[in-house]
Structure 1
Amino acid sequence: MHPQDYHITIQFLGETTPEQMGGLQTVLSSINEQPLSLKLNGAGFFGSSKAPRILWAGVSGNLTGLNNLHASVIQATHQCGFIVEERRFAAHITLARNYVGEHEFNVEAIQSAPIGVGWKADRFTLMSTHMNASPMYEIIESYPLNLRF
């Protein structure tokens, strides 16, 4: 993944029509959640250890706040006709996709992934995907999280 593409997916929306976009931006701008203190929390993978589909960085910190943001986004986007994914929300940052190598992926290599490196999330962002581009995500609009503490 290109470093500019690192993010936590709050909700995957899929194909979005121009008609949906105006309403979507309106409902997202009405979300009122607090800024979040988050931290990196190791790494893992989805798929087999021989050829992982996704290598990810774990996230810890204010997961209650992150789950609240997720719930608010789901509720807001539902008003625009978007459907909630069936899989459970699991906060992570995708680092790499579709391992291709001559040898089995070295699972031990991720045991030294950073833990405790923190940041303050003070906004969430609506992004568009451009497949096969690098970076592949384009920021459409950012929405500040409520700055009252």
Structure 2
Amino acid sequence: MARIFVAVDLPEEFRDEVRGIQSRFSGLKLKLVDPELVHVTMKFIGEVKDPMVSEVAEALGEVECKPFDAFIGGVGVFPNPKAPRVVWLGAEGNFEVLHDEVESCLSKFRFKKDRKKFTAHATLARIKFMPSGQREEFLELLDELSDIEIGNMVVDRISLKKSTLTPQGPIYETLHEVMLK
């Protein structure tokens, strides 16, 4: 079995910016995502049998979405600031079109659809519990970082990735890349 997902990787030159933003949260009770692993998820698929991985990779080759310019910036949270669970970096561009194309090309597999409306973002940290004494500092930081600009990038490919969960955090392996056309 393989735990897989489809993603858009952030450019290498954004890693230091991501690290810098994450360092601003250092005193708070968050589980930070390794900056090398921060990406925009197009579709989380989950556990599939190994032979299906190549079928999924082949189906992704049918994605019809032209490369597009994207802007990465602005920090926010899901589901809301009063009960934050995920701290994210915003992603603006043609991500919704790309997401819909990925969903369409993978529809024959009948993978579970996302329950929530797709919102392009890159997860920076997860929050299981935030002590009430940290909430005010956290909300101030969110406000300060709400319009931070990381930069522009060209989205010209998607990656099929395998995620192996370990006690030290996930390990991602790119199994297949599809160039947008």
TMscore range, shorter length: 0.7 to 0.9
Higher strand proportion (structure 1 or 2)? 2
With over 3 angstroms needed to count, the CA separation of the structure-2 counterparts of 1:68 and 1:19, relative to structure 1, is same
How far apart are 1:25 and its partner, in Å?
0.9
How far apart are 1:83 and its partner, in Å?
2.5
Residue number in structure 2 paired with 1:136: 171
Aligned residue for 2:45, secondary structure, equals coil
Tell me the TM-score normalised to structure 1 length.
0.83
Aligned residue for 1:88, secondary structure, equals coil
What one-letter code is carried by the residue in structure 2 that aligns with 1:84?
K
Aligned residue for 2:119, secondary structure, equals coil
Tell me the TM-score normalised to structure 2 length.
0.70
How much identity, in percent, do the aligned residues show? 25
How far apart are 1:115 and its partner, in Å?
2.6
> Counterparts in 2 of 1:38-77, with a 5 A limit?
38-47=70-79, 49=81, 52-60=84-92, 62=93, 65-77=94-106
Corresponding residue to 2:154 among 108, 120, 123: 120
With over 3 angstroms needed to count, the CA separation of the structure-2 counterparts of 1:28 and 1:48, relative to structure 1, is closer
CA-atom RMSD in angstroms: 2.1
Q: Which runs of 5+ in 1 are unaligned?
A: none
Aligned residue for 2:109, secondary structure, equals coil
Residue number in structure 2 paired with 1:93: 122
Structure 1 position 16 matched with structure 2 position 48 = yes
Q: Which runs of 5+ in 2 are unaligned?
A: 1-32
Structure 1 position 3 matched with structure 2 position 38 = no
Residue number in structure 1 paired with 2:141: 109
What one-letter code is carried by the residue in structure 2 that aligns with 1:141?
H
With over 3 angstroms needed to count, the CA separation of the structure-2 counterparts of 1:48 and 1:30, relative to structure 1, is closer
Residue number in structure 2 paired with 1:145: 180
Number of positions where the alignment pairs a residue of Structure 1 with one of Structure 2: 143
Higher helix proportion (structure 1 or 2)? 2
Higher mean alpha-carbon deviation, 106-115 vs 21-30, is at 106-115
* CA–CA separation in structure 2 for the residues paired with 1:135 and 1:19: 22
